[in-house]
Structure 1
Amino acid sequence: MTEHPSRPASGPLLEVADLAVQFELPHGSVEAVKGINFQLEPGETLALVGESGSGKSVTSTAIMRLLPELAKASGSIRFQGEELLGATAKRMRRIRGGEIAMIFQEPMTSLNPLHRIGQQIREVLDRHKGLKGKPARAKAIELLEQVGIPEPHRRIDSFPHELSGGQRQRVMIAMALAGEPELLIADEPTTALDVTVQAQILELLKGLQRRYGMAILFVTHDLTIVRHFADRVCVMRHGELVEQGDTTEVFRAPQHEYTRMLIDAEPHGRKAVVSDSQPMLLEARNVRVRFAIKKRWFGPSDYFEAVKGIDLNIRRGQTVGIVGESGSGKSTLGRALLRLLKSKGEIRFEDTRLDTLDKAEMRPLRSRLQVVFQDPYGSLSPRLTVGDVIGEGLKVHAPHLSRAERESQVMAALEEVRLDPGMRNRYPHEFSGGQRQRIAIARALVLKPDFLLLDEPTSALDRSVQVTVIELLRDLQDKYGLTYLFISHDLAVVRALSDTVLVMKEGAVVEQGSTEQIFADPQTDYTRKLIAAAMLEDVA
């Protein structure tokens, strides 16, 4: 890499001094970042950690000078000795991508869906390296190969939607490398990925860092990643930097109570195993789900088999965890068991054969079989108040209730999930992610179900919020004898909540057993790979 002429002979690559960011909003100004100071050395990995709203992403976008117009930054950001807050727009265009590059959490929103990935990489090469035509295409293929895209000669002409999530993130990394930056800012680059893909991306970034000698500013809320990936760590809370230091030292002896809380915010404990004397609540035999991928007028259609003949037994009060990578079929299986998807095979709920029922015959059972999804904001109507959202099911399944009785049950459900019933007249957007997930749980609980399908209910939440939701689910299960089918790619959460675990791969169960047995003595290479990728501290 070429060294910028203004860079000092020695010293930090990046110096942030007294950085403050204010947002001028209609109701007043909000201080998102409050006078923070840190440095990043050449070739170093510095992690900027904190919960949602801590100001870490605002800090990273301020470094890139990508803040919205209503934001005002003050203080100093010096890169290679050059002050960025005073740099011209023209100069910043040269710096972005050429000297400092950035990758984001969701590559699908950063990649242009209308352009092939090769074209998007070549644009960076043209702007920052002056490469065009065949040399640019050859370099783009080389970059795709470096980031581990299979068959780069063919994939270079793919559109973003034709790639998996992990492959799209690799393309974003290839685009970032195209300008040969001195600094790579990675803002939650693995949050939306499976644990195995996450581990691959982190290993890839480390290898590329060694190859190119670049520094990495890693923005994340996941301290498990920080422990294994970063040289130093800065902890942010409410826009302030509350602690920074060597990663090993901070984890060994955190000085600030907030840092200690973040480190301790791991799912702890194990679920008490349900006795074999408990009655069977849900049984499935040879469940299969297939989707038509190509229909023909004449001759047989082509099908994709998403679930391949799975057997499952769930006792009352039990939690069965289902783990596996994206595309393994775990969510499809969960929806099939509740007859939200067409399937083949026998599904029995207590003494009732669900697979023989039509929609009208299933309706009376819906109150007893409830679902909580991954994204509560997407599953809560933004046009309804929280009280209306929770009470909606009561209108359908308990039409005999008066309005006052319905409101009383809504308030009780909110209290059950530790939310103030006085909030029932607010709208979903007025709540945090963790609060919205509690509202989604309250919506299910108000119908007094026997069985809850929990489909990635904590994956979009900060670790500390995850722990409170997990504790809530445990308490509710103990209080009401609820039965859970818990679907997740987060093995730490599954280990803390489940009696038994099913490991799925490509639509089939490759291993199942008690939680203790699966995590202490996995029998298949695939399960061992999942556990290793999850970086669970006390798992052999």
Structure 2
Amino acid sequence: MTTPLLEIDNLRVDFDLPTGPVTAVKDVSFSIGENQTLALVGESGSGKSVTSTAVMRLLPEMARISGRIRFAGEDLAQASAARIRQLRGNDISVIFQEPMTSLNPLQRIGRQVAEVLKKHRGMSGKAARTRVLELLEQVGIPEAQRRIDSYPYELSGGQRQRVMIAMALACEPRLLIADEPTTALDVTVQAQILELLRDLQRRYGMAILFITHDLGLVRQFAERVCVMRHGELVESGSTAEVFAAPRHDYTRMLLEAEPHGHKPPVAADAPLLLQARDMRVRFTTRKRLFAADDVFEAVRGITLDVQRGQTVGIVGESGSGKSTLGRALLRLLDSQGQLRFEDTDISGFDKALMRPLRSRMQVVFQDPFGSLSPRLTVGEIISEGLRVHFPELDRRERERRVIEALEDVALDPLMRKRYPHEFSGGQRQRIAIARALVLKPDFLLLDEPTSALDRSVQVTVIELLLHLQDKYGLTYVFISHDLAVVRALSDTVLVMKDGVVVEQGATESVFADPREAYTRELMRAAFVDHAA
């Protein structure tokens, strides 16, 4: 039997915090062979990312590592800082979850990829640029000759992730650590990235440590799987065996944590709450002096009816216009066409005219950590809307409503004195829902509210949204690239591509028998396993 490329033996990671020591990883052992893919799975807080960060020796100073981390026979836990710097990016590379935070927004992508080549291979100038072009073409960046001089914001999410892969593979590493590399991507782009990684693995013969909370991806991509919970390894084995006959209750829970069920349809004669007719949204990009401006039409002539108590799902790939449409429905963006809320034509309403309606039309965003102020307590965050829209309420009544909102989203009201960073991702999303709910709205725009959450947490958030809808008669427009979630939550669905609706209808009808080729492609990517 060949010696494993990476061998982790009784790894333990402790953090020395002001409140006392915390054990994040406890006695974890596994190995990865050459050209093998091992998936490390578990919910947020399970210790999987800390484990991978320990391999790269990127943990903060407060962390203490014990146990062995052997790479090609060398113990990385005992290696010098200089030796670790030699290995990083050269023999061991990493792809992080969110490329927009990993890429420097002020530097062109070509320069950022070339930096790795300059550091580890001594390449510069024309040679480095030639190699960067080769890498961008290998990872499927279209028009690489032009894109090499683009900034990160000029690329789509999938293209940015491909740039990160190019950077990670620049020095042809022996081990690639892929930490949630597809979490924020559309299902079709996810499939493309996984296929790209498979192809590159075959080309370079590298091992991959694949970290994810999505077990559907593990089934497609990894030969072996290790399941982590609360910092411990609870189950490991071949992917086929673990998926076919999981031994641990936690593994079974993860496998069963798929959005399921169907929302009861609203009555056919339910009144219309929101109507859009021939809605269009245009963006103007100012070019250089004396050059004509570019006009880009992100939403092109969409007509939509939303009944009271209904959930309308909007799906499509990044750049399809679904989030732009959602913001236009709330008049957060200027648009053309007719827009009615109940009996009021709000098409031309400015910020001042919309303000009285804002308490009735609320939004929950994708990233609660980005939309919750880190400087305010949870109680202050939730009560902020009350102070703006209902200034007549006294402090005691505001407090009562905040407590009620927290109870509605199944959070302990005593938590209102804490700050957002003290909560998990699922809890922060519940806080974001409570902030919207405290105003007693009629309409909620839910823009990718579950995409960054574990599957098990997604299920609880979906159940919460359905419960709140039933309790308060809420109306939802639900934007997502996760078709399983849309299927469980929506009455009707719109499929968008390039700013237009290519298919729409009752959710079950569209999912059972999609008419358009694009819809069938989305369904195939979302629900059909791809053999590894």
The reply to whether TM is greater than 0.5 is: yes
The answer to whether residue 420 in structure 2 is matched with residue 432 in structure 1 is no
Corresponding position of 2:91:
99
> Alignment identity in percent?
73
User: How far off is 1:296 after superposition?
Assistant: 9.4
Q: Deviations over 1:114-151 (max 9, x none)?
A: 44333333333344444444333322222221111122
Aligned counterpart for 2:113 among listed residues 121, 146, 149:
121
Deviates more, 1:210-219 or 1:354-363: 354-363
The within-5 A match list for 1:266-305 is: 266-294=258-286, 301-305=293-297
State whether residues 16 and 36 of structure 1, in contact with CA within 8 Å, keep that contact through their aligned partners in structure 2. yes
Aligned counterpart for 2:139 among listed residues 128, 140, 147:
147
Which letter maps to 1:475? H
User: How far off is 1:200 after superposition?
Assistant: 0.8
Corresponding position of 1:530:
522
Corresponding position of 1:3:
none
Which letter maps to 2:519? T
Q: Structure 1 residues 384, 101: CA separation in 2 closer, same or farther (over 3 Å shift)?
A: closer
Q: What SS does the aligned partner of 2:89 have?
A: helix
Corresponding position of 2:229:
237
The within-5 A match list for 1:355-434 is: 355-434=347-426
Q: Structure 1 residues 141, 379: CA separation in 2 closer, same or farther (over 3 Å shift)?
A: closer
C-alpha separation between the residues in 1 aligned to 2:483 and 2:362? 23
User: How far off is 1:240 after superposition?
Assistant: 0.5
Q: What SS does the aligned partner of 1:261 have?
A: helix
Q: Structure 1 residues 72, 366: CA separation in 2 closer, same or farther (over 3 Å shift)?
A: same
User: How far off is 1:222 after superposition?
Assistant: 1.1
Which letter maps to 2:462? I
State whether residues 496 and 503 of structure 2, in contact with CA within 8 Å, keep that contact through their aligned partners in structure 1. yes
Q: Structure 1 residues 287, 37: CA separation in 2 closer, same or farther (over 3 Å shift)?
A: same
Q: Structure 1 residues 341, 130: CA separation in 2 closer, same or farther (over 3 Å shift)?
A: closer
State whether residues 39 and 211 of structure 2, in contact with CA within 8 Å, keep that contact through their aligned partners in structure 1. yes
C-alpha separation between the residues in 1 aligned to 2:248 and 2:353? 57
The within-5 A match list for 1:107-506 is: 107-294=99-286, 301-506=293-498
Q: Structure 1 residues 340, 138: CA separation in 2 closer, same or farther (over 3 Å shift)?
A: closer
Q: Structure 1 residues 492, 95: CA separation in 2 closer, same or farther (over 3 Å shift)?
A: same
C-alpha separation between the residues in 2 aligned to 1:45 and 1:483? 44
User: How far off is 1:368 after superposition?
Assistant: 1.6
State whether residues 96 and 179 of structure 2, in contact with CA within 8 Å, keep that contact through their aligned partners in structure 1. yes
Q: Structure 1 residues 338, 159: CA separation in 2 closer, same or farther (over 3 Å shift)?
A: closer
C-alpha separation between the residues in 1 aligned to 2:513 and 2:111? 47
The answer to whether residue 26 in structure 2 is matched with residue 34 in structure 1 is yes
Q: Structure 1 residues 359, 152: CA separation in 2 closer, same or farther (over 3 Å shift)?
A: closer
Which letter maps to 1:259? T
C-alpha separation between the residues in 2 aligned to 1:404 and 1:160? 48
Q: What SS does the aligned partner of 1:38 have?
A: strand
Q: Structure 1 residues 10, 383: CA separation in 2 closer, same or farther (over 3 Å shift)?
A: closer
C-alpha separation between the residues in 1 aligned to 2:194 and 2:166? 14
Under a length normalisation based on structure 2, what TM-score does the superposition of the two structures give?
A: 0.95
Corresponding position of 1:19:
11
User: How far off is 1:459 after superposition?
Assistant: 1.3
C-alpha separation between the residues in 1 aligned to 2:464 and 2:528? 22
State whether residues 291 and 305 of structure 1, in contact with CA within 8 Å, keep that contact through their aligned partners in structure 2. yes
Deviates more, 1:382-391 or 1:53-62: 382-391
C-alpha separation between the residues in 1 aligned to 2:166 and 2:56? 19
Which letter maps to 2:220? H
Matched residues, number: 530
Corresponding position of 1:70:
62
User: How far off is 1:26 after superposition?
Assistant: 1.8
User: How far off is 1:299 after superposition?
Assistant: 10
State whether residues 56 and 88 of structure 2, in contact with CA within 8 Å, keep that contact through their aligned partners in structure 1. yes
Which letter maps to 1:302? D
Q: Deviations over 1:17-52 (max 9, x none)?
A: 000011112221111110111011111110001111
C-alpha separation between the residues in 1 aligned to 2:23 and 2:416? 29
C-alpha separation between the residues in 2 aligned to 1:436 and 1:367? 21
C-alpha separation between the residues in 1 aligned to 2:489 and 2:190? 22
Which letter maps to 1:76? R
Q: Deviations over 1:460-485 (max 9, x none)?
A: 21111111110000011112221110
Which letter maps to 1:107? P
User: How far off is 1:93 after superposition?
Assistant: 2.3
User: How far off is 1:456 after superposition?
Assistant: 1.0
Q: What SS does the aligned partner of 1:97 have?
A: coil
State whether residues 492 and 536 of structure 1, in contact with CA within 8 Å, keep that contact through their aligned partners in structure 2. no
C-alpha separation between the residues in 1 aligned to 2:16 and 2:371? 31
Gaps of 5+ in 1: 1-8
Which letter maps to 2:48? K
CA RMSD of aligned residues (A): 2.1
Q: Deviations over 1:331-377 (max 9, x none)?
A: 11111111121111111122111114343332222222111111222
Corresponding position of 1:55:
47
C-alpha separation between the residues in 2 aligned to 1:158 and 1:368? 41
